[in-house]
Structures are given as C-alpha cells and as structure tokens.
Amino acid sequence: MRIMSFGDKINDKKPVPIMMPDIGTVDNLFTTWRMPRRDRDWQVGEVVQVVYKTRSPQRRVLGTAVILAKTPRLLDSRGWGGSVKGYVGIKHGEAWIDGFANAHEMAKWLQDTHGPRYWDEPINILLLGWIERSDDAPR
C-alpha cells in the first residue's frame, strides 16, 4: 500500500459535483489534486495510507482510503473551466474548494511548487473514500 501524504489540511468539503459518483456519503469522501507521478500514477481502486506530514516529527497516520475517481484537469489561466488542450480547465470554485482564493492563487502556488510543469501536464483531481480513519483525521 502506497502512502498519500498531506502537508496541510485534507479537503473534506463537498467534492466537486462532476466528480460525485453514486456511492457513499459526502461525510466519507475527500478530494485532492495531484500532479501525475512519473514512477506510477495513482489508479482508481488503489488503496492508500493517508498520512499527515510524512517526513516530519508531527507525522500522523490518518487512516486508509480508496481512490474512487481520477479526472485529469488542466489549469485554465482565465479560471472559466473551459476546454484547455482537450481537458476541462480548473474553475475558480474548484480552486476555492481546495483552499485557494481562486484559480489564479492556485496557479501561483503550482508555479512556485512544480515550476512550469503544470501548464503542460494535466493535474489529477482524485476523489477518495475513507475505509478507516483515525481520531486525528478530519470529520
């Protein structure tokens, strides 16, 4: 089982509506945005161990989750969510759900973190469902 690490809060707000499958309840779901992994990208059905601050003294195992959906998106500099290079663009509202003020703030963070890579490669929005979670995990 691979580790999915979070350095900040887990997004446990209502998932983006286009990602909502007909399973589970909103209380059991959370979303995250991940750049494609070069070694082995995340797969639907994969069970992962969810960890807070993996390489830190504050490390906490939050539980296990299963990836329920994976949708590649590309950053749309306008924030309209239109088509970008054949992918649906990320909307301001989706960036807000993930904790950013808007898509422009998300773009700045991506630029600072990943460099220009995010303009050329799609970002996966992953919908996960808790299998089990510790008392430290968000409710």
| Identity of the highest mean pLDDT range in 18-27, 29-38, 51-60, 95-104 | 51-60
Share of the chain above pLDDT 90, in %: 14
Query: How does pLDDT run across 52-86, given as a tens digit for each residue?
Result: 888 888 888 889 999 999 988 877 655 555 566 77
**Is residue 10 scored above 70 in pLDDT?**
no
Banded pLDDT at 97 (limits 50, 70, 90): confident
**Which value, in Å, is the radius of gyration of the alpha carbons in the chain?**
15
- What confidence score (pLDDT) does residue 20 get? 46
If you average pLDDT over every residue of the chain, what do you get?
A: 77
DSSP per-residue codes, the chain = -EEEEESS--B-SPPPGGG--SSS-GGGEEEEEEPPPSSS---TT-EEEEEESTTSTT-EEEEEEEEEEEEEEB--TTSB--EETTEEBPBHHHHHHTT-SSHHHHHHHHHHHHTTHHHHSPEEEEEEEEEEE-TTS--
Pick from 110, 113, 120, 42: which is nearest to 87 by CA?
Answer: 120
| 116: number of Cβ within 10 Å | 9
- What confidence score (pLDDT) does residue 17 get? 40
Strands 2-6 and 47-52: parallel
Q: Which residue has the tokens 């299963």?
A: 66
Query: What's the whole-model pTM score?
Result: 0.75
Banded pLDDT at 16 (limits 50, 70, 90): very low
Strands 83-84 and 87-88: antiparallel
Query: How does pLDDT run across 117-136, given as a tens digit for each residue?
Result: 766 778 888 888 989 988 76
